[in-house]
Structure 1
Amino acid sequence: MGSSYATNPLVFILQVLFEAYILVVLLRFFLQLTRADFYNPLSQFIVKVTSPVLVPLRRFIPSMAGMDIAALVLAWALKALELLLVVLISTGAFAPVLAIFGAIPGLIELCINIFLYAIIIQAILSWVNPGAYNPAAALLYTLTAPVLRPVQRIIPPIGGIDLSPMAAILGLIVLKMLLIPPLRQLVAALAS
């Protein structure tokens, strides 16, 4: 198909729609994994948006070790479909191998970004409105606790200032820099 006037906006819209739903599916996976409060209004929204697809999928893909494997499979399948459609629209090539394997580094990067941005937002909320209850802040605290707790054990608050979010953010960025490029190179090698 090549580059045309309508290709870039179409690809952009497609990516935004897919990425938004994949994000919600992964949030459901992580909130369930961290045992977040599912009576929280934001949790209820996530459950209602993802249940129509996840409930039937769970009939075929059971949970394992407390992990919602169906949510991971759904996120992977959606990411693969997104990549397949983007390549098809952009170049006219049908590349299922690239889509299937290319979805893996894309999902890993999105998972790292979820924790990265959750920690940033949680830190900003703690500065803007410390101590006040907010449903989003409660979910962010539950979501980020598995990442922040180990860092907080190593770096305790200094003079009442918690530097663990900054250390966790740096660690996540470095992890992304070390992990994603080699995975993308491996996918490119497999697809060629």
Structure 2
Amino acid sequence: MGYFLLAVAKVLGMALNLYMWIVIISALLTWVNPDPYNPVVRTLRGLTEPLFYRIRTWLPFVRIGGFDLSPIVVIFAVVFLDTFLVNNLVALAQRF
């Protein structure tokens, strides 16, 4: 059981790390205004915009001036989940 929890923790950590990079790349793409019909851009927007939209509706102050701070909120949430969940799963796996 311990090895299973450790494997789940590692996969979850990798998935959270990958999503953090997707958020960073998506935020950087907004600065260069790429072709919206590009499949890579559409995939990145499809993976990030639903979460950005929810954050913008829950926290209306994340748009300051012309800056959208919702990617920063998502990155903080991902880092929190990575630190809290993954480390607790690893600690629980070590107890088994």
Normalising by the smaller structure, the TM-score range is 0.7 to 0.9
- Measure, in 2, the Cα distance between the counterparts of 1:182 and 1:103: 13
Q: Which residue of 2 aligns with 1:46?
A: none
> What fraction of aligned residue pairs are identical, expressed as a percent?
27
Q: Runs of 5+ in structure 1 lacking a partner? A: 1-96
Structure 2 stretches lacking a partner, 5+ long: none
Q: Work out which of the residue numbers 132, 137, 142 in structure 1 matches 2:35.
A: 132
Instruction: For residues 82-118 of structure 1, give each alpha carbon's deviation from its aligned partner in whole angstroms, at most 9, with x where no partner exists.
Output: xxxxxxxxxxxxxxx5443311111211221222111
Counterpart in the other structure of 2:87: 181
d(CA) in 2 for partners of 1:185 and 1:99? 12
CA RMSD of superposed structures (Å): 1.7
Q: Give the conservation status (yes or no) of the 8 Å contact 2:2–2:92.
A: no
What's the CA shift for 1:183? Answer: 0.7
Runs ≥4 residues deviating over 2 A:
97-101, 131-134
**Structure exhibiting the larger radius of gyration computed from Cα positions:** 1
Q: TM-score scaled by structure 2?
A: 0.82
Structure 2 residue corresponding to 1:151, chosen from 44, 52, 55: 55
Q: TM (normalized to structure 1)?
A: 0.44
The structure whose residues are more often strand, as a share, is 2
Q: How many residues align?
A: 93
Pick closer, same or farther for the CA change 1:173–1:106 going to 2, 3 Å.
Answer: same
More RCO (CA 8 Å, sep 6+): 2
